[in-house]
Amino acid sequence: MAKINPDSNLIDQLSIQKKQAEEAKKRDTLGQKDFLELMIAQFENQNPNEPMENGDFLAQMAQFSTVSGIQEMQNSFNELSNSLVSNQALQASSLVGRQVLVPSDAVELTEHGGMSGAVELAESASDVMISIQDEAGQLVKRLSMGSQAPGMAKFDWNGIGDNGETLPAGKYSISAEANTANGQSVLQPLVVAPVESVSLGRAGQSMTLNIGGLGSVGMNAVREIL
């Protein structure tokens, strides 16, 4: 003879509780309504001889509040992140086609000839020299900027070599030195180049600019937008 469980209501309640838990798992989240329903089911089906202590109830409530607060904080961070990405995309779109001043040891001379750049001095210099070499490593131009005060010192080159001839389009290397009271120091050249496209950062990476003739450069490397 089959044995009949007289407490069918308990089985029904446990079945409902299991179904609610499965639905919550599918959503991969537990809302306030789900939590309260599970708490009620737990009260209704607790052992009368060992009822839930007030401390246990308060502990569960505190745990839920903590988890809920973390979830709300996470949602706020996600909203902030989406907002930053949108602002980043807007900023990126405005840079395409613009000229930027970025650190580089290379420069591309176009068919139109000429280029612009700068060096940044931490102290006064009696003379600042810019050296330009071709792809073979041969010195083709040496510019003397004369004495310069601390700060940004800009220069222009018309694309004509020391031999008086216009140099062919292509890639060249560039270096800079300064004569100061503390001796000769090597400087990081800054060159002006066009922004051809922009790549938005992913997974915490910053936005990068694709510079004509120079490749990818981080947005934080840009010293000036022209």
CA distance 211 to 96: 10
Place 63 in a pLDDT band, splitting at 50, 70 and 90: low
Instruction: From 226, 224, 225, 213, select the one nearest 104 (Cα to Cα).
Output: 213
Dihedral of the alpha carbons of 85, 87, 88, 89, in degrees to the nearest 10: 90
**Can you say how many angstroms the Cα of residue 120 is from the centroid of all Cα atoms in its chain?**
26
Alpha helices of 164-223 — where are they, by DSSP H?
none
Supply the pLDDT for residue 5: 44
Q: Is the pLDDT of residue 29 over 60?
A: no
pLDDT greater than 90 at residue 168: yes
Q: Is the pLDDT of residue 55 over 60?
A: no
User: Of 79, 180, 80, which Cα lies nearest the Cα of 126?
Assistant: 180
Stated pTM of the model: 0.61
The residue behind tokens 């330009």 is 132
> With 50 as the cut, is the pLDDT of residue 6 above it?
no
- Rounded to an integer, the average pLDDT of 148-156 is 95
How far apart CA 57 and CA 168 sit, in angstroms, is 81
Per-domain boundaries in the chain: 13-43+56-70, 99-225
Amino acid at 28: D
Q: Domain 99-225, what fold?
A: Immunoglobulin-like (2.60.40)
In terms of average pLDDT, the best of 2-16, 54-68, 105-119 is: 105-119
* pLDDT higher than 80, residue 125: yes
| pLDDT of 208 | 84
* Cα–Cα distance for residue pair 108/114, rounded to 1 Å: 9
* Tokens at 155, concatenated: 């220069």
The C-alpha torsion from 207 through 210 and 214 to 215, rounded to 10°, is 80
Task: Render pLDDT for 73-114 as a digit per residue (tens, 0 to 9).
Answer: 666 666 656 656 666 667 667 888 899 999 999 998 888 788
Cα 109 to Cα 19, 112, 170, distances in angstroms: 70, 8, 5
